[in-house]
Amino acid sequence: MAILRYRLWEIDTIINKALVYGTLTVMLAVIYAGLVIGLQTLLHLFLGQVSQSPVVIVGSTLAIAGLFQPLRFSLQKLIDRRFYRRKYDAAKTLGTFSATLRNEMHLEIL
């Protein structure tokens, strides 16, 4: 209601960011939990150690830190392509046209 009342029309940006970061948070949480549980299980099977190992938690945290940017970029691209199809297609078409024009134009003649 406040968005309509105060004419905050950039709601698509807010929705876009909410989708990207909400999905990213859920994905990273699931991956982190899976890594911690999986590595704890492997550590228990191979070494027989039952307590939580700080090495597993640190390794899982570093893996999540390394996955953050690539996952964010791919999610952003996926959501932009899905929700901003017209803008994405127009930019792609314009880029293809300019590349074709650049290749077919003879600069010597100009």
Q: Supply the pLDDT for residue 8.
A: 67
More confident residue, 66 or 110: 66
More confident residue, 83 or 89: 83
pLDDT mean across residues, the chain: 81
Q: Rounded to whole angstroms, what are the CA distances from 65 to 36, 47, 48, 102?
A: 14, 27, 28, 41
Closest CA to 35 of 52, 65, 57, 8: 57
Q: How does DSSP classify residue 48?
A: -
The answer to pTM > 0.85 is no
Calpha distance 24→32 (Å, rounded): 12
The answer to whether residues 59 and 39 touch, using CB atoms and an 8 Å cutoff, is: yes
Domain locations in the chain as residue ranges: 2-84
Q: Is residue 40 predicted with pLDDT exceeding 90?
A: no
